[in-house]
Structure 1
Amino acid sequence: MVMHPQTIQIFLPSGDPQGIRVASITTRIVQVIEVPRARLDVFLNTPEADFVGIYMLFGEDEETGVPKAYIGQTGNFGTRLKQHNEKKSFWNRALIALSLTQSLTVTHAHYLEWLAISKATQAQRFELENGTVGSKPHTPPAMEAECREVFETLDTLLTTLGYPLFDPLVRPRIETVSSTSPMSQAVPHALVLQDGDGRDFYCNSPGVEGHARYTDEGLVVLAGSYGRSEVSSGFLKHNYYRKRQNLIDQGVLQLDGPRLVYTRDTLFKSPSPAAVFLLGRAANGWFEWKDDAGRSLGEVVGRTAIQENVDA
């Protein structure tokens, strides 16, 4: 998705920031309504409950705390959400995408559902309740173009509301040439790296090869990184050991002989557990993660007083 400045309006019908929220880009006709499950009856009494479109249910696994989502389409939001309220227990928020001009048809909705499930599966942000993505529905080219424009708006609004369902933890790096940048003027034909997705860091030790990217959200350990399956005796008593085991149970970490391998990109809000899970011992992530010049993460981000540690 191409990034550019946008104006987004969030309307609070009841004045409560935790209640129903209506998000829209002021120049577009697509709108997203966030409905807490506890306020579903309020939404069902609105005209929008009879609209056509797609919706997303968000919640988490009660045992593991893993974020979960369900993506669906419907010719009538009210009818479908009533059914989910009776039969699905995991969700606590519904996000509903509709057209203010009621221009979306069931054909639009089927294609948008397929596209949304495909993108969410690729992003791996949430565990999907949907199962398989299914085959691409037949859609005329003109309508497919409309759907992709609607999806771009939906993606932006969901992320703004705090549900980055379709955004991968690490976006592919893109190298571009800017004719107005100082670098392109000083070095002819220079490629200027767009580094909005963070910097790369490494955690290396005997039996450990970790590769991560420090982003606006935290430290993302990249798939394929591996650490020691064995841990120190003191670490067995630490809360981080149980969290590490949860990742093994979820399949995020996979045992491979003496190695423990990340099967997918994994976000950590703090760099210390990201290092601890690889090293199998007490660790200070601000010091253990280093860039390709050997500088610690703490040094790079200007965290000079590095005191955070994990006792084990």
Structure 2
Amino acid sequence: MSSSRPKTVQIYLPDGNARSVRVAEITSRTVQATEIPRQKLQWAGELRPIVSAFTSYSATRETTPLSQTPTEPYIPETMLAELQDNFGTVQPLLSVLGFPILDPLVSAGRKDEGHEVLYCQGKGAEATCEYTEDGLVVRPP
């Protein structure tokens, strides 16, 4: 999903505080991503469930094996190209703000590239994991 073309990302701090509201944008595009800390959302009670749902989703990036493979819906080639362009714009903005939810997960078991795979077995629990650039990635067996 991410493009290998160079990009310039500009981050604006409206409060002058890097731990407060941050607005990120790719300087050659008109798309912006805005991060608002939870503490700043206390005045906007109606927005809290939406942000909480997004935060819950973004905190659990994982792969889940499917018992059935869904069929790919028909999408016209022109619309597909535009969607891929949009994702290519949004993906680095979310990553820069600390939400790499559109970044692909590393493939498990890449010992040939020097990645050590760790195994965890316990009463009713089993998993494998490896250290990546993003931290520890845990996968079901």
What's the counterpart of residue 11 of structure 2?
10
Question: Could you tell me which amino acid in structure 2 is paired with residue 155 of structure 1?
Answer: Q
What's the counterpart of residue 222 of structure 1?
139
Structure with larger RCO (C-alpha < 8 A, sep 6+): 2
What's the counterpart of residue 151 of structure 1?
87
* C-alpha deviation, 1:150, in angstroms: 1.0
1:83–1:138: structure 2 CA closer, same or farther, 3 Å change rule?
farther
Structure 1 length-normalised TM: 0.31
Contact kept in structure 2, 1:36 and 1:92, CA below 8 Å:
no
Gaps of 5+ in 1: 43-80, 95-119, 127-135, 175-192, 225-312
2: distance between equivalents of 1:90 and 1:151? 20
After superposition, residues 20-31 of structure 1 pair within 5 angstroms as 20-31=21-32
Tell me the percent identity: 37
* C-alpha deviation, 1:37, in angstroms: 4.3
Residues paired across the two proteins, number: 127
After superposition, residues 26-175 of structure 1 pair within 5 angstroms as 26-40=27-41, 83-85=46-48, 88=49, 91=52, 124-125=60-61, 140-171=76-107
**What root-mean-square deviation, in Å, do the aligned CA atoms of Structure 1 and Structure 2 show?**
4.4
Contact kept in structure 1, 2:2 and 2:103, CA below 8 Å:
no
Contact kept in structure 2, 1:37 and 1:93, CA below 8 Å:
no
Gaps of 5+ in 2: 63-71
* C-alpha deviation, 1:204, in angstroms: 8.8
Which is greater in Rg? Answer: 1
* C-alpha deviation, 1:139, in angstroms: 5.9
Contact kept in structure 2, 1:34 and 1:93, CA below 8 Å:
no
Contact kept in structure 2, 1:199 and 1:213, CA below 8 Å:
yes
Deviation by residue 1:227-252 (Cα, 9 ceiling, x = unmatched) = xxxxxxxxxxxxxxxxxxxxxxxxxx
Structure 2 length-normalised TM: 0.60
